Structure 1
Amino acid sequence: MITSRIALTLGLTTLLTLGGCSAGATESYEDMAVSAPGMAVGESVEMAAVESDGKAGYTSEPDVITTGYLSMSVDEPSAVADQISEVVVASGGRVASRSDYSPVDYGQPSAYLDVRIPSSDLDATVASITDLGEVQEISVNTVDVSLQKVDLDARIEVLEAAIERLTTLLVSAETTADLITIESALAERQAELDSLQSQRDYLSDQTLFATLSINLITPVDATPSDPDGFLDGLMRGWESVLAFFAGTVVWAGILLPWIGLVVVLVAVGWFIARIRSTRKQ
C-alpha cells in the first residue's frame, strides 16, 4: 500500500514537471534562434527541431502567413465579384465574406470580398483576378510563423505524454483521494491540449490559405492615373472642361428656384414699402 502511494506521488510529480517543461518550450526555442543572429529564421527553427527530437522534424522552408489587398476599377462590381468568386473556388479556395453596394438614387456601385486562396496557387489566382479589371492598388505581406509552429508542436507532444501517463495512473489508483487528484490533473491537461491543438489548427489554416481583401469600384470612383502623353493630356483637359460646364449647369438648376424665391420676396418687400410711402404722403 505504502509502495503504491509512493509510486503514485512520484508519477504526479513527474507529470507536473513535464507540464512545466511544456510552458518553457517557447523560451528554449527563442534562445536557439537568438543565439545564432547570422542564421536565417527557417534554419534556426530546423536546428531547434533537430536538437529537441534528435531528427529533422521540420523542413528548412519557413511557413508564412500571407495577406494581401487588391483594389480594382471595373464597370460592374457585382458581376466581377461573381467572376472572382468562381476563380477562387476553382483554385481550391473559398470566399470568407462579401458585401455589395448598389445605390438607387446617387453614388456608384461597389463590392468588397475577403477570399482565402491556397498559398501554392496564390500567384496564378491573383493574375487571373487582375485580368478582370484595371488594378488601382495591390500589396502582399508575409509573416514567418515557423517558430510558433515548433513551439506548439513541442508543447502538444509533452501534454500528450502527460495525459497518457495520467491515464495509466488513473487505472492503478487505489483511494478516492488519489482518483480525484488524478482526474483533476487529467482534465486540466486535456483542456490545455485541446486549446493548443485549436491554435495549431488555426495556424495551419492561416499558412495553407492566403487571405486577400479585394475592393471593386467603378471608373468614376477610381483614382486617375497620370497622362501618358500630349494627346492623353489633351483629352484629360477636354474632359475636365466638359465636367466643369456639366457641374455649372447642375448648380444653376439647383440655384434657380432659390433665385426665383429671392426675387419674389424682394418684390413683395418693395411693394409693401411702396404702399407705406404712398399712405404717408
Structure 2
Amino acid sequence: MTNSNLLSNDRVWISWTGMETDLIFNKGYDLPNFAAFPMIDSAEGRDMLARYYEDLIAIGRETGTGIILDTPTWMANPDRAKGVGYEAADLPRVTHAGVALARSVSDSNPDVATRVSVQIGPRGDGYEPGLSAAEASANYHAPQIDAAREAGADMVSAYTLGATGEAIGISTAAKRAGIPALISFTVETDGKLADGTSLASAVANLAEAAEPAAIMVNCAHPDHIAHAFDGGEWEAMLTGVIANASRQSHAELDDCEVLDDGDPDELGRQLADMRRARPGLRILGGCCGTDLRHLRAAAESVTG
C-alpha cells in the first residue's frame, strides 16, 4: 500500500498529531478554536514550531526512525479558518509558509530521514461523521492539496476523518494534484467510525476506491482501536496508528479541563505490540495527550 519511495519500509516512521494539546495544556499556549496554523504568522509561533521539529528529528537521530514533519494546518480549511479570522484566500499562503518552515528544518538535518507533509483535517468537527459525498469532498479540499503540491511538500496527511466519503474525496483530489496522500480515520471507543461504519469497511472501501499512499487510524487509544481488529484481510491494508495517550472517549476529551497524558511507556509498548502483530504498520505516533515522551517511547519500543 505504501509507496516505498515515499515512506521506505526499511524503518518505522514517527508522526505526531498531538501538538495542539501539548501547546494548550503543557505550554500554556493560546490556540483559539484549537487552530494552530496562525502560529505560522508570528515569529514566536514559528520559533515554537521549529523547536518541535528539531526535537522530533532528535528522536529520529537517536532511534533510527524516520520522522514526518507535519505542517500545523489541520484547521486550515475555509469553514474552520473563518473562526479565527482567516479567509479562504489566505490559506494557500499559510500552506506555503508552513511547508517552507518544515523544509528548512528538514534541510538543516540531512542525517535523519524526514518527510514534509501538509496536514489536512475534516471540513467540520473531527468527532462527527463529516462529508459523505466523495466528489464534494474532493472539490472542497482541492485548494489546500494543490497548495501543498505547489509548495513542494512530499505528501499530504488527512487526519481524524469520520466518514469514508470524505476520505475518498481527499485521496481523489490528491491523485488529481499529483501528490501522495496519507489518509487516517478516527474511531470511537467501540472501534467504529462516528457514523457507525466499521473500520474494516472504511479501510477496504477506501483502498478499493482511491488507493492512497497509506491508510491509518488516529485519535483513539490502542484499546479502542483493538476493538476494530477482527483478523480480516483489511488489516494488511492498514499502514499506521497514531494513538491517543488517553483512554477517554472523544466526548470526554472535548470536555476535559486537565490533560490526561496516560502512560508514555505503556503507549509505546502497545504500539510496538500492534506492529509485531501487523508488520505492515510502519507509521506510528501520538495524537491527543501525547508529547515528546510518548513519541520517544514508541520509537524506542519498536526499534529496541
Same fold by TM-score greater than 0.5:
no
Q: TM-score, normalised by structure 2?
A: 0.18
- With structure 1 as the length reference, what TM-score do the two structures score? 0.19
Higher gyration radius (CA): 1
